[in-house]
Amino acid sequence: SVQDMQSLATSTSVRQVLNAAYQHLFFDVSAATTRFMEMEIPISDLEVKQVLGEGNYGVVRLGLIKSSNTPVAIKSVKPLAPLAEQQKIIVEAMLMTKLQHKNLVRLVGICSRVNPFLIVIEFMKNGSLLGYLEKQSQVLEGKDFIDISCQIADAMRFLESHKIVHRDLAAR
């Protein structure tokens, strides 16, 4: 399970975490490694901009893929984050390579050759779901809330079908 891998991340090296995650998520480790490395974006192709949000150990910044002029969000751990947090972001990126769904934020790429490791994800121009709901509260109708709820449920069903539990589903 993801919890098992995260527990493993607190007590082992990055290489061991990667190997354990690959074995858990993929039958063909070689193909999984290739797919993960195909997601590499050169750091020189990224323009990192302002902070969009941050937590205890992580930060998300607005970014731009220069070659395609594509706005993205760039997630990383903070420089002094514990090793376990640094390992968790790698596991998260690996999960995202496998879990592609219309109602989940899409992984665009990774920057694994820099420290800290970066996850490059789809930029959500409307911000968080909570922010969107707060801004649109006067124009949204009951049917809109039902539609949003169905989209969330569809994404959670997809994750469950892959034996993944989203442990931080919330609109704070």
The residue written with tokens 């994750």 in the block is 159
Q: Which is the catalytic residue, given 28, 147, 154, 168?
A: 168
pLDDT digits (tens, 9 = 90+) for 70-96: 999 999 999 888 888 888 888 888 888
pLDDT of 20 reads 63
Query: What are the CA-CA distances from residue 4 to residues 15, 20, 52, 95, 160 (Å)?
Result: 16, 10, 30, 14, 16
Please state the separation of Cα 15 from the chain's center in Å.
20
Distance CA 171, CA 121 (A): 19
14 confidence band (pLDDT: 50, 70, 90): low
Taking residues 107-134, report their average pLDDT.
91
Q: Is 131 left (phi over 0), alpha (psi -120 to 50) or beta?
A: alpha
3 confidence band (pLDDT: 50, 70, 90): very low
Half-sphere exposure of 136 (CA within 13 A, CB side): 14
Concerning whether 168 is annotated as a catalytic residue, the answer is: yes
In the chain, where does DSSP find H-type helix?
A: 2-9, 14-25, 29-38, 83-98, 129-136, 142-161
9 confidence band (pLDDT: 50, 70, 90): very low
Using the Cα atoms of residue 80, residue 85, residue 86 and residue 92 in order, give the sign of their dihedral: negative
pLDDT over 90 for what percent of the chain?
44
